[in-house]
Amino acid sequence: MTASSSARNQDSLSQTQIDALIRIVLTNPLLNTVFRKTPHLNLPEYYIGAGCIAQSVWNHSFGMPIDNGIRDIDWVYYDPDLSYDKECEVIDSVRREFDSLAVRLDIKNQARVHLWYEQHFGYPIEPFSSLEEAIRTWPTTATAIGMRMNPNKEWKVYAPFGLSDLFSLTVRANKVQITEEIYERKINRWKAIWPGLTVIPWE
């Protein structure tokens, strides 16, 4: 299998890092199943990313079970059709394919996030213009990452802040969109499960 990264972060991602990342995530049976079966669904451009990727790396690095602490799998895509019904169609299609998975798939059209974000988090955001723009706002540098395997078995990795924090087991806030309160909630949960993480304070 081959791998590529977007032009934006090409310089910061070494092929060695990408290859190591792919090897680790494929040892997680949950992710292995999703990565290998999703290309056959013929759905919009997507990424599997965020916590499930970072936490697989943390588990591997700390010698823990590879699925330790992973509560869900973030499956994100971008479709300019903002209708709720269309998103529900995609959600139903993906979940039917993976209904035997032991964890929940969190499936979201990133083009629609601004429609519900304020109600959920308490403050509004601007619409995202692309899937990659959405990933650039994810809460930490280590979890701002998306991966997919294309039908030709070529990997696409998007990590706008690089992979150094991920592999050095460092948690650092990405302050583009989240609040300090959201960051604190996340790191408190993560430190309880992976106490060896190096957590950079908000300030």
pLDDT for position 41: 83
Instruction: Answer whether 0.85 is exceeded by the pTM.
Output: yes
Q: Which residues, in sequence order, are CB contacts of 164 under 8 Å at separation 6+?
A: 12, 170
Length of the chain as a residue count: 203
**Helices 51-62 & 29-37 angle (0-180, nearest 10):** 140
pLDDT values of the chain reduced to their tens digit, one per residue, 203 residues: 445 443 344 446 889 999 999 999 999 999 999 999 888 887 778 999 999 999 999 999 999 999 999 999 999 999 999 999 999 999 999 999 898 888 999 999 999 999 999 999 999 999 999 999 999 999 999 999 999 998 888 999 999 999 999 999 999 999 999 999 999 999 999 999 999 999 999 98
pLDDT of residue 14: 86
pLDDT of residue 10: 40
Local structure of 48: helix, strand or coil: strand
And the tokens for 47?
A: 């990424």
In the chain, beta strands by DSSP E: 2-5, 46-49, 72-77, 104-109, 146-149, 154-158, 170-171, 198-199
* Distance between CA atoms of residues 53 and 30, nearest Å: 11
Q: Tokens at residue 110, please?
A: 């990133």
The pLDDT value given to residue 2: 47
For residue 7, the model assigns a pLDDT of 35
Residue 203: the pLDDT is 84
> Which uninterrupted H or E stretch holds 15?
helix 15-26
pLDDT attached to residue 142:
97
